[in-house]
Amino acid sequence: MEVDLTSSSGGSSYYDPLDDLTDYRPPRRQHWSNKAQFVLACVGYCVGLGNVWRFPYLCYKSGGGVFLVPYFIILVICGVPMLYMELAVGQYTRRGPIGALGQICPLFKGAGLASVVISFLMSTYYNVIIAYTLYYFFTAFKSDAPWSQCNNLWNTPQCWQPSKLLNISRPNKSRTPSEEFYEHKVLHMSDGIDNFGVIRWELAACLIVAWILVYFSIWKSVKSSGKVLYFTATFPYILIIAFLARALTLEGADLGLRYFFKPRWELLGDSKVWVHATAQNFNSIGIAFGSVISFSSYNRFNNQILVDTLAVSTINGVTSLLVGIFAFATIGNIATEQGTSVEDVLSDGPGLVFVVYPQAMAKMPASQLWAVLFFFMLLCLGMNSQFAIVEVVVTSIQDGFPNWIKKRLMCHEMLVLIVCVVSFLFGLPHITEGGIYFFQLVDHFAASISIMYLAFFEVIAISWFYGAHRLAKNVHEMTGRHPSLYFRFCWWIAAPVLIMAVWVFSLIDYEPPHYNNGEYKYPLWAEALGWFIASLSLLCIPAFAVIVFIRSEGNSFMEVSHTWGKLHNSVKSQMEECCVQCEPDKCIHTGASKEEIREMLETKHQPPLASRAPS
């Protein structure tokens, strides 16, 4: 493909083709110390809160076993191919999501910004879950777990403690001790989002501790977070297996497992099941959030991304099943003890983690030990998720403003500190007395509705506008092998069509957000606020497209389209045709010097240098 090396500046007497290459050359970048750190970073995100909290909860909310059908269909058609695609883009461009998508297709640079916006929003409330975890972790050291009894100051007359001796079913409108501890002691939960109340200062202190942990884990970028991941990404698996073995021995575990594995096929046509399955796939793997692109941008250029793709996606699927078995065995035990059905155990929000699990552990031998281990495991999982989410924001800012950061902030550590402080301030509304309603609202609009819209435009930008065939060439340049026809078919047709179909049907069957299984309906102003939060990311794509269109040369639409077409292909075609992954003095692939590359470009493209002299 011909590369347009025409300079837009008429004031220079000599055009240097290397000017284009230098402007777009990927910046010097740290690398993972070894391949294991990169894989652990991706696996750590997969086994983070996305799988331990969201997967069982969405599976439960979607009718149990039927959720597994669309979940694994979407994993095969969208999840695995798009993971491969994002790994390739990040590794080849060596930039975060904004810089990577901006190089590949300037018209869709807004998709990169949208992923950063979503990651920032998620960082503000994911760390709130870590704050809850710290609160429970410190409380678990008490000899008598306060979530196991009804004789505390915060308990109400509706508090009901199940007893095997009496064998009484749970009365209507009763509350378990763990529910009342969570809602009345931890949250001081108000009656609605209209009443935010005051900040819960115990939770604020825990939130500060959570952000301090995040800061000192990523302040040296991948050099520090990579070392932390050796522990936080592997240790939780030991505890998950231990909890799984214990949960399978609980009375009523078979009841929960039947609910988990037995599909209710009539629900397969419900669009909400497919929406939840799609959102969970993207949440658990990190698709469209920018974390995969950010992580892979620190890889070596010749890293074998197919191996990483298969390893991460397989571990993600297996982990989902293991956590699901553990969760539903526990839910079955609680349903048996309370004399209720499995469908009546859970409420909305992070209740699975902070209501159901503590209630089950309170009945175990050595319950205090199990509780301490469980919440320590949850802390590790939350940190894994938070590393990835915050790294997206930090990497994107660093790629976008390298000179400003170097001059004003002086060091990477100061940038990380500013991001953590700002995220902490935005997280404060979540820890007010009405914060759980706001938490649920943001999670619904930022992590479900927005992410499918973003994923669609990302795959369109890369596979259609940039070209699946050209991405395949880039993969071959890095790894020595072309992606299979299966991957290219999914990039080009299957993934965009499936994502668009799910997204459209989700809008057709749209239901206003609610809390506690529909008992609380959000007011109209809160729903409008939710759509405003969603629009912060949704509008990035058309807004940037308009800006690029306006700034493009040409007086007519066709002229602008032609100019843009050359623009969006220029960087990659240069990199393909002359191998310009350049270090300061030479190409890292061919060893050619700057002078040799310049001579090659001038000979091949013969730019009209004389005509560029000022008139």
Residue 550 lies in a domain: no
Burial of 142 (0-12, 13-18, 19+ CB in 10 A): exposed
> Residue 381 annotated as binding?
yes
Confidence of residue 614 (pLDDT cuts 50, 70, 90): very low
Our CA angle for 376, 377, 379, nearest 5°, is: 65
132-136, 145-149, 479-483, 540-544: lowest mean pLDDT where?
145-149
- For residue 342, the domain's CATH number is 1.20.1740
> Residue 167 annotated as binding?
no
Buried b / exposed e over 339-362, threshold 16 CB at 10 Å, is eeebeebbbbbbbbbbbbbbbbbb
pLDDT of residue 272: 85
Q: Is the pLDDT of residue 234 over 50?
A: yes
Q: Is the pLDDT of residue 4 over 50?
A: no
Mean per-residue pLDDT for 145-171? 74
pLDDT single digits (tens) 387-439: 888 988 988 888 777 777 777 766 778 889 999 999 999 999 999 999 999 99
Selected residue with higher pLDDT from 540 and 558:
540
400-404, 445-449, 501-505: lowest mean pLDDT where?
400-404
Q: Is the pLDDT of residue 592 over 80?
A: no
Q: What is the mean pLDDT of the chain?
A: 80
Q: Is the pLDDT of residue 133 over 80?
A: yes
pLDDT of residue 255: 92
Q: Is the pLDDT of residue 221 over 70?
A: no
50-59, 241-250, 606-615: lowest mean pLDDT where?
606-615
Spatial distance between the Cα atoms of 561 and 548, rounded to a whole number of angstroms: 11
Of all residues in the chain, the percent with pLDDT exceeding 90 is 34
pLDDT of residue 131: 95
pTM: 0.82
Mean per-residue pLDDT for 600-614? 40
Residue 15 lies in a domain: no
Spatial distance between the Cα atoms of 321 and 314, rounded to a whole number of angstroms: 11
Residue 571 lies in a domain: no
Q: Is the pLDDT of residue 161 over 50?
A: yes
1-5, 166-170, 529-533: lowest mean pLDDT where?
1-5
Residue 615 lies in a domain: no
Residue 606 lies in a domain: no
Q: Is the pLDDT of residue 51 over 90?
A: no
Q: Is the pLDDT of residue 168 over 70?
A: no
Spatial distance between the Cα atoms of 516 and 536, rounded to a whole number of angstroms: 26
Q: Is the pLDDT of residue 564 over 60?
A: no
Q: Is the pLDDT of residue 591 over 80?
A: no
> Residue 44 annotated as binding?
yes
Selected residue with higher pLDDT from 32 and 56:
56
pLDDT single digits (tens) 337-361: 877 888 877 766 667 788 888 887 8
How many domains does one find in the chain?
A: 1
pLDDT single digits (tens) 541-553: 999 888 888 877 6
Max CA distance (Å), the chain: 98
pLDDT single digits (tens) 533-542: 999 988 999 9
pLDDT single digits (tens) 64-98: 889 999 999 999 999 999 999 999 999 998 888 99
Q: Is the pLDDT of residue 446 over 50?
A: yes
From residue 153, give the alpha-carbon distance in Å to each of 91, 171, 220: 56, 22, 45
pLDDT single digits (tens) 477-500: 999 999 999 999 999 999 999 999
> Residue 47 annotated as binding?
yes
| Count of CB atoms situated within 10 Å of the CB of 168 | 11
Q: Give 147's contacts (C-beta < 8 A, 6+ positions apart).
A: 177, 178, 181, 182, 358, 359, 362
Mean per-residue pLDDT for 183-190? 91
Mean per-residue pLDDT for 198-209? 95
Query: Which structure tokens are listed for 106?
Result: 């300037």
pLDDT of residue 419: 93
Mean per-residue pLDDT for 114-132? 92
What's phi and psi for 552, nearest 5 deg?
-70, 150
Our CA angle for 324, 370, 58, nearest 5°, is: 20
Residue 235 lies in a domain: yes
Domain that includes residue 297, residue range = 26-504
Confidence of residue 463 (pLDDT cuts 50, 70, 90): very high
Q: Of 326, 366, 316, 142, which Cα lies nearest the Cα of 246?
A: 326
Q: Is the pLDDT of residue 113 over 80?
A: yes
- 483: helix, coil or strand? coil
Q: Is the pLDDT of residue 55 over 50?
A: yes
pLDDT of residue 314: 92
Mean per-residue pLDDT for 118-125? 92
> Residue 302 annotated as binding?
no
pLDDT of residue 222: 65
Residue 163 lies in a domain: yes
